[in-house]
Amino acid sequence: MKIGEAAKATNLPIKTVRYYADIGLVAPDGRGANGYREYDETAVEKLRFVGRARSFGFSVPECAELLSLYEDKTRASADVKRIAEAKIVALDAKLAELHELRDELARVATACAGDSRAKCAILDRFSKV
Amino acid sequence: MKIGEAAKATNLPIKTVRYYADIGLVAPDGRGANGYREYDETAVEKLRFVGRARSFGFSVPECAELLSLYEDKTRASADVKRIAEAKIVALDAKLAELHELRDELARVATACAGDSRAKCAILDRFSKV
DNA sequence: ATAAACTTTCCAGTCACAGGAGACTCAAGC
DNA sequence: GCTTGAGTCTCCTGTGACTGGAAAGTTTAT
């Protein structure tokens, strides 16, 4: 199939599919006589794989690593587990901080009277003027 | 305090602090006679807030909006409250998304044997939609 | 036959920084 | 007083992961 169809099938922008081909992350099956990229089911499968991994917060180099693990079925799954667990630790830290930020913002919101007065206790604390 | 100390206090790279000053996101308190940026506790507080907000995917313009809650005393508090509450909704959505991501990743990581066997639930999960 | 849609390459721009050069300033040690 | 090293300044370029657009060729539908 051509790049447009592959893009639709993987739910990725055409530009992104082309970009992945350019950087050698997911190469198309080959080129047609007209020079068009040809994607077979395997390539589409890899694109889907990468798309999902990216949405999980893996960088492109990490995706390349995962993809190589994916391609080489004989490799130990411990490698994949190690990468995933490192990612979970980072996510937990992010979650904790996000909660903190959310609560801080909520404090600001509740401290606001919500009327037309330009007075806000917490804002006063931060404002220097 | 000078930029290095401010950077250390906020756990941000010096380059980033300078960048925020350049684009007017978090201006230093002023400049010393030698031209060095001077940061007071208010500026440091803002840097900390921005640092956290940025790490959750809030763009710089969005951070500017969040900061305006602290900075703009002339804004009616109803507006402040409205903006704050909209951001809280966005934060909650982000929280939920991250939670989902984290749990999904944790689930497949535990399912992954982590030994030398070729089968890995993580990779399966990526490839099976 | 022609128009619309699709694909190609190439180049520029984006966002939020990061790296490095070259010059200036400051505090400490000799 | 001088040197050394660390810290800071501005300016310029590079990065990651795309995204947009131009100009040209190809395919498909009417």
- Nearest Cα neighbor of A75 from A84, A87, A63, A67 is A67
Question: Is the domain of A81 the same as that of A45?
Answer: no
B16 vs B37: CA distance, rounded Å: 13
B15 belongs to a structural domain: yes
* pLDDT computed for residue A117 by the predictor: 43
* Domains identified in chain B, total number: 1
B103 belongs to a structural domain: no
Q: pLDDT tens across B2-51, in order?
A: 999 999 999 999 999 999 999 999 999 999 999 999 999 999 999 998 98
Mutate to test the interface with A, among B12, B44, B70, B82 (most CBs of A within 10 A): B70
Residue A124 pLDDT > 70? no
The CATH number covering residue B63 comes to 1.10.1660.10
Question: Is the domain of A59 the same as that of A109?
Answer: no
In which domain, by residue range, is A102 found?
Answer: 77-129
Residue B2 CB lies within 7 Å of the nucleic strand D = yes
Contacts of B122 in chain A (CB under 8 A): 77, 80-81, 84
Question: Is the domain of A128 the same as that of A85?
Answer: yes
Nucleotides of chain D touched by protein CB (<7 A): 7-10, 16-20, 26-27
Question: Is the domain of A51 the same as that of A105?
Answer: no
Average pLDDT over residues A5-22: 96
Those residues whose C-beta lies under 8 Å from the C-beta of residue B79, and which sit 6 or more positions away, are none
Question: Is the domain of A44 the same as that of A83?
Answer: no
* Rounded to 5°, angle at Cα B42 from B37 and B44: 60
Tokens of A129: 């003027």
Residue B60 CB lies within 7 Å of the nucleic strand D = no
Q: Is residue B129 within 8 Å of A9, Cβ to Cβ?
A: no
Question: Is the domain of A58 the same as that of A21?
Answer: yes
| Separation between the CA of B61 and the C1’ of C15 (whole angstroms) | 11
Residue A19 CB lies within 7 Å of the nucleic strand D = yes
Question: Is the domain of A94 the same as that of A55?
Answer: no
Question: Is the domain of A89 the same as that of A39?
Answer: no
B79 vs B104: CA distance, rounded Å: 38
* Higher-scoring residue by pLDDT: B118, B110: B110
| Separation between the CA of B16 and the C1’ of C20 (whole angstroms) | 16
Q: pLDDT tens across B54-65, in order?
A: 877 788 998 898
